């Protein structure tokens, strides 16, 4: 009853705001972060392409923290803008009923979906309740949904509750950032601090690097561990357990950089870890890729970014039996990418150690999996231009 009442009030406020004139305005709306990276990359091209339109940012101060004031501001922009761009579920877009003048384009904040979400996971412990999904019209109101890759479309269609014809698998601005030469200096600058921290680590013991380590290998191979955030996981110490297992198993010459949610990282405090373990505090995961020799993840879409950037990528999934049940999986690493996936830390460490020595990483298997998802690195392609073209079609309507 409370949810229905809230939805009724939100719709009423929207109808009031809709009495005001529509403006030549493109609103960037988010509940994910204050400055979504894809929006930052898109804004300059958008401003150049449609110079007569005001571009307005209206995002949370901190991820997920929606306030009444922000809700009112977002409702105002949805009611009076020409175009609304969102990167996740935004109540101001989805809840209001009735005619709408603005067009809404969803730039989902991930390139794909390993784990199920949205309507796919309603009846699981990790998903939202069906009652909340109905009351708050989850993912309603999109005119178009931009997907990173073709492989993401079937899962996204189920998760959002749309037909596949609503999707444009044209990539996200972050694809350009990872591949195009124009961003090379920015990538270097944004990863410089982490690179300096790694360089400052104490040298490994003299016997840490095997005598047979292949020529040209990094003196200290960097393993970037970037797992997904388990918001409903009953085991609060899961990250610490995983990091301890990797720290104990990985070759002594390797650096283990951990890029995880701050609420999970808290549980690393007090754990006995070696000095080669770094917690990535102030470098975004997409920028940490620049210094990584290996990327280890589980059910996070960072896997798709890593594969796009041609990084040696592994899926480490010790709790996959739980994830197969809740929230469920769109991509089952052990089944879909078996040669680069494991549930055992010692097995993962052995694969990395063997690759350091002999270059045994199954690049062909990784490439086959990536291509099956539509991942084809092409530094000449520009996702930003493709997205701007889509936006222009809605402006011209």
Give the pLDDT score at 391: 98
Asked whether residue 185 is domain-assigned, the answer is: no
Please check whether residues 24 and 155 belong to one and the same domain.
Answer: yes
**pLDDT tens-digit map of 85-129:** 999 999 999 999 878 899 999 999 999 999 999 999 998 888 888
DSSP state of 115: B
> The CATH number of the domain where 277 resides is what?
3.40.50.12580
Return the percentage of the chain with pLDDT > 90, whole number: 79
- Give yes or no: residues 51 and 106 share one domain: yes
pLDDT in tens, 294-314: 999 999 999 999 999 999 999
Q: Determine the 3-state secondary structure of 30 from DSSP.
A: strand
Report helix, strand or coil for 169: strand
- pLDDT tier at 237, thresholds 50, 70, 90: confident
Structure tokens at 147: 């997907």
CATH assignment at residue 103:
3.40.50.11820
* pLDDT confidence bin for 235, thresholds 50/70/90: low
289 and 197 both lie in a single domain: yes
| Total count of residues recorded for the chain | 397
Confidence (pLDDT) at 270: 80
Tell me how many degrees the CA angle 257-365-308 measures, rounded to the nearest 5.
Answer: 55
Higher pLDDT, 134 or 322: 322
277 strand-pairing partners: 256
Q: Do the domain assignments include residue 333? A: yes
Query: Could you give the number of structural domains in the chain?
Result: 2
The three-state secondary structure class of 254 is coil
Q: Each residue of 314-356: pLDDT tens digit?
A: 999 999 999 999 999 999 999 999 999 999 999 999 999 999 9
Q: Is the pLDDT of residue 208 over 60?
A: no
Which 8-state DSSP code applies to residue 255?
Answer: E
Average pLDDT over residues 277-285: 94
User: How many CA atoms, within 13 angstroms, populate the side-chain half-sphere of residue 243?
Assistant: 30
Long-range CB pairs of 38-43, under 8 A, 24+ apart, other chains included:
38/87, 38/107, 38/109, 38/172, 38/173, 38/174, 39/85, 39/87, 39/107, 41/173, 41/174, 41/176, 41/177, 41/384, 42/85, 42/107, 42/173, 42/384, 42/387, 42/388
Residues 140 and 200 in one domain: no
Average confidence score pLDDT of the chain: 92
What are the helix (H) ranges across 200-284? 238-249, 262-265
Say whether both 150 and 287 belong to one domain: no
Whether 271 and 164 map to the same domain: the answer is: no
**How distant, in Å, are the alpha carbons of 61, 67, 122, 203, 349 from that of 116?**
27, 27, 10, 42, 28
Q: 71 and 131: one domain?
A: yes
Give pLDDT tens digits for 36-95: 999 999 999 999 999 999 999 999 987 667 899 999 999 999 999 999 999 999 999 999
% of the chain with per-residue pLDDT over 70: 94
Q: Give yes or no for residue 275 having a pLDDT over 50.
A: yes
Domain housing 115: 2-176+380-396
Closest of 178, 90, 191, 154 to residue 384, by C-alpha? 178
Bridge partners, 314 (sequence order): 296
302 and 367, same structural domain? yes
> Residue 233's pLDDT is what?
61
Same domain, 228 and 348: yes
List residues bridging with 316 in a β-sheet.
342
What is the reported pLDDT for 212? 47
């Amino acid at each position: 009853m409370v949810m229905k009442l809230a939805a009724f009030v939100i719709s009423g406020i929207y109808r009031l705001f809709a009495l005001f004139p529509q403006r030549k305005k493109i609103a960037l709306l988010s509940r994910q972060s204050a400055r979504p990276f894809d929006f930052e990359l898109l804004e300059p091209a958008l401003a150049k392409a449609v110079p007569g339109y005001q571009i307005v940012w209206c995002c949370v101060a901190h991820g997920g923290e929606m306030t009444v004031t922000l809700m009112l501001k977002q409702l105002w922009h949805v009611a009076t803008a020409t175009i609304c761009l969102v990167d996740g579920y935004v109540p101001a877009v989805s809840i209001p009923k009735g005619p709408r003048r603005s067009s809404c384009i969803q730039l989902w904040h991930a390139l794909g979906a390993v784990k199920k979400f949205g309507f796919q996971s309603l009846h699981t412990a990790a998903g939202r309740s069906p009652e909340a999904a109905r009351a708050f019209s989850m993912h309603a109101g999109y005119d178009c949904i931009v997907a990173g890759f073709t492989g993401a479309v079937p899962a996204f269609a189920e998760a959002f509750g749309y037909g596949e014809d609503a999707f444009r698998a044209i990539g996200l601005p972050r694809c350009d950032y990872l591949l195009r030469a124009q961003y090379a200096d920015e990538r270097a600058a944004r990863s410089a601090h982490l690179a300096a921290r790694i360089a400052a680590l104490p040298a490994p013991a003299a016997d840490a690097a095997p005598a047979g380590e292949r020529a040209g290998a990094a003196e200290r191979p960097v393993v970037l561990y970037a797992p997904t955030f388990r918001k409903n996981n009953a085991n609060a110490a899961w990250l610490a357990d995983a990091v301890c297992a990797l720290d104990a198993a990985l070759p002594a010459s390797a650096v283990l950089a951990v890029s995880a949610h701050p609420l999970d990282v808290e549980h690393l405090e007090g754990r006995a870890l070696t000095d080669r373990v770094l917690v990535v505090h102030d470098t975004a995961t997409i920028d940490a890729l620049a210094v990584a020799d290996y990327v280890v993840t589980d059910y996070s879409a960072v896997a798709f970014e890593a594969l796009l950037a041609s990084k040696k990528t592994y899926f480490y999934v010790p709790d996959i039996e739980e994830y197969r049940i809740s929230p469920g999986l769109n991509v089952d690493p052990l089944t879909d990418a078996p040669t680069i996936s494991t549930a055992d830390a010692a097995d993962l460490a052995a694969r990395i150690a063997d690759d350091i020595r002999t270059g045994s990483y199954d690049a062909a298997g990784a490439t086959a999996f990536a291509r099956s998802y539509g991942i084809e690195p092409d530094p000449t392609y520009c996702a930003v231009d493709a997205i701007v073209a889509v936006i222009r079609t809605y402006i011209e309507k």
